[in-house]
Amino acid sequence: MNRFSFAGVFAGLVAVFSAAHAEDVPAERRGSGVPEYPASCRPAPDEDAGVQTVSVTYNVTEAGLPIDVRVRDSSDPCFEEVAVATVRSWSFTPRTVNGEAQRQNDLETTFIFKFDHDTVAEEFDARPIKRVPPYYPSHCSQRAGKEETVLVEFDVTVEGTTENIRAVESTNRCFNRASIYAVKQWKFHPKTIAGVPVVRKSAQTTIRYVSQPAYSTERLMRRQLSKKLDKIRQDLKRNGDAQAALDELAAIEEEYGDSFSRTELGVFHQLRAAARIQVGDYAGALDDLYIVKGLGGTPDGSEAINNTIEQLEAILEAQKRAAEQVQEEPAE
């Protein structure tokens, strides 16, 4: 699949009864952290690994944290875990509307992996500069607590303006005109291919109209996650079943991974590295510790992390040399 062709939708907007025209400043990533080439994906001696890509989509919360991190497309599944973990480790200056932090949906980044080269993180798709939230149509009735949505499709020109705007799906057609009028005022950095601006066809955004915010269960979720991670930590300290710990960590990642805080992300990957070492998956453990190191260490100390990384790199290098020697030995 062409990595310049993105199928993800653009950021949805939430309009309340008091909504009015407002300036919308998109989220911006802090720093430029990119992953190491995964140790578990390193090519065999004399093998040309080529160039591998992984495109990751995600949302950014009001606090500037990535959630709902998903792989949209990849050339090799081996690279997906590291790409997802890297995005989860990022932080952003959150999107703001009238100076207030807001959630931003459907961002996308493509990672380009080439062995013995620095990994590159690129965003080729059209990127929003300004989004104007819709006004709430006073003539459209809505029950308290009910949400109405309009899926709007449009093209982004080489100048970054929107055209061919149409409502392709809505729960209430009464909201279509306000949604189209809002998107008409949006501005973008145009999509580029090889540095040349091109038209971005069929971009989409879901605009939501709600009368009241939903209640959050954030605190309860954080407490449950902390207990589960602590239980695994204690089991590993008592030399428990490492494979069982890996299974539990996989279940935790499935349930909570998209909402990990940076601290939780570091603890998760440090625990998984410890379990992987116990089952002999040294390359996987090294990838986990690269992620922990990229986060700036953990409460257990960066020095111990660095020492373990050095030991694992030495083990993998020795295994590589042994494999090369076997290939060089003449057949009897």
Number of domains in the chain: 2
| Mean pLDDT value of segment 159-170 | 93
DSSP assigned state of 77 = G
Question: Is residue 14 situated within a structural domain?
Answer: yes
Helical pair 242-256 and 262-279, crossing angle rounded to 10 deg:
150
| Mean pLDDT value of segment 259-274 | 87
Exposed / middle / buried, residue 185 (Cβ in 10 Å: 0-12, 13-18, 19+): middle
**Is the pLDDT assigned to residue 15 strictly greater than 70?**
no
Q: Domain end: 193, 210, 227, which one? A: 210
Assess contact for 111 and 119: CB atoms under 8 A: yes
Q: Given this model, what pLDDT does residue 9 score? A: 26
Q: Are residues 127 and 75 in the same domain?
A: yes
Helical pair 282-294 and 262-279, crossing angle rounded to 10 deg:
160
Q: Domain end: 210, 242, 264, which one? A: 210
Which pTM does this prediction carry?
0.58
Answer with the residue of higher pLDDT: 74 or 131: 74
**Which residue in 207, 200, 209 sits closest to 162, CA to CA?**
200
Q: Return the CATH number at 59.
A: 3.30.2420.10
User: By residue range, what is the domain housing residue 313?
Assistant: 218-325
Q: Given this model, what pLDDT does residue 326 score? A: 75
Q: Which residues contact 236 (CB under 8 A, 6 or more apart)?
A: 242, 245, 271, 274, 275, 278
Mean pLDDT of the chain: 79
Q: Return the CATH number at 297.
A: 1.25.40
**Is the pLDDT assigned to residue 289 strictly greater than 60?**
yes
**Is the pLDDT assigned to residue 161 strictly greater than 80?**
yes
**Is the pLDDT assigned to residue 64 strictly greater than 50?**
yes
Q: Given this model, what pLDDT does residue 201 score? A: 82
Write the pLDDT tens digit of every residue in 90-139. 999 888 866 788 888 777 788 899 998 888 887 666 777 777 777 777 67
